[in-house]
Structure 1
Amino acid sequence: MLQPGSLSYIAGPVVAVVVMVLLALFMRWAFGTGGTGSARRRPAPSDDGLLTRVATLSRRESALALRAVLSDAGIRSTVRFPAAHRADVLVFPEDAARARELAASFPAA
């Protein structure tokens, strides 16, 4: 029989709290970013992967308009924003020559 002043009344909650703290520490270790708390690293701006840069514009709206022109011409493209007031328009290498011609005739380029 348990006595009201016995140690078992305290042992249960203490064990539960210790298990929760250990579980929280494990979750932080397992799913943490591994950094010093700063934002995730962005890839280097020169790393375009499989895509080729055809234009660099200073306004987001201009880059999206150029992307629409390229889309109308059947060229798949994307826009990357590597810094403030800078937008790169990227296309696949096989479409780069045609995309550069269109970008050269584009008024904002």
Structure 2
Amino acid sequence: MLQPGSLSYIAGPVVAVVVMVLLALFMRWAFGTGRSGSTRRRPVPSDDGLLTRVATLSRRESALAFRAVLSDAGIRSTVRCPSPHRADVLVFPEDAARAREIAASFPAA
């Protein structure tokens, strides 16, 4: 039988805290970024997902005008602005060939 003043009342919580600290350190090591003190900006991912980039324009307004032309042709598109002076026009892969043909005749592209 355990006595109220015995060491086992302290050992249980101490062991639990030590295990939790070790588990936290392991998780930080296993799932960390591999860089310590990382203050650098992360690069913009180049993955376009399900979409295909058909044009890159220097102004957002030009990209929106090109998007309107694509919309008039029945092609669904979107505009992504990864940096201040760059706008990408993205379409679904099945419409990419037609969109590139239209982009070739678009004055700002």
| Shorter-normalised TM range | 0.5 to 0.7
RMSD after superposition: 4.1
Alignment length, in residue pairs? 109
Contact 1:50 1:92 in 2 (8 A): yes
1:46 CA displacement: 1.4
Moved more, 20-29 or 72-81: 20-29
CA contact (8 A) 1:55 1:89 kept: yes
The answer on whether the counterparts of 1:45 and 1:82 sit within 8 Å (CA) in structure 2 is: no
Distance 1:8 1:52, change over 3 A: closer
**Change in 2 beyond 3 A, CA 1:34/1:73:** farther
Partner of 2:64: 64
- Mark the CA change 1:31 to 1:50 in structure 2 (over 3 Å): closer, same or farther: same
Per the TM alignment, residue 57 of structure 1 is displaced from its structure 2 partner at its CA by 0.1
* Deviation for aligned residue 1:106: 0.1
Does 2:99 correspond to 1:99?
yes
| 1:32-72 per-position Cα deviation (integer Å, ceiling 9, x unaligned) | 99999999987734110000000000001100000000000
Offset at residue 2 of structure 1 (A):
38
4+ runs deviating over 2 angstroms: 1-45
Single out whichever of 40-49 and 22-31 deviates more from structure 2: 22-31
Give deviations 1:3-51, integer Å, cap 9, x for gaps: 9999999999999999999999999999999999999987734110000
1:23 paired residue number: 23
Q: Give me the TM-score of the superposition, normalised by structure 1.
A: 0.61
Q: Percent identity?
A: 92
Closer, same or farther: CA 50–3 of 1 in aligned 2, 3 Å: closer
Q: 5+ unaligned residues in a row in structure 2: which ranges?
A: none
- Aligned counterparts of 1:69 and 1:39: Cα–Cα separation in 2: 41
1:30–1:50: structure 2 CA closer, same or farther, 3 Å change rule?
same
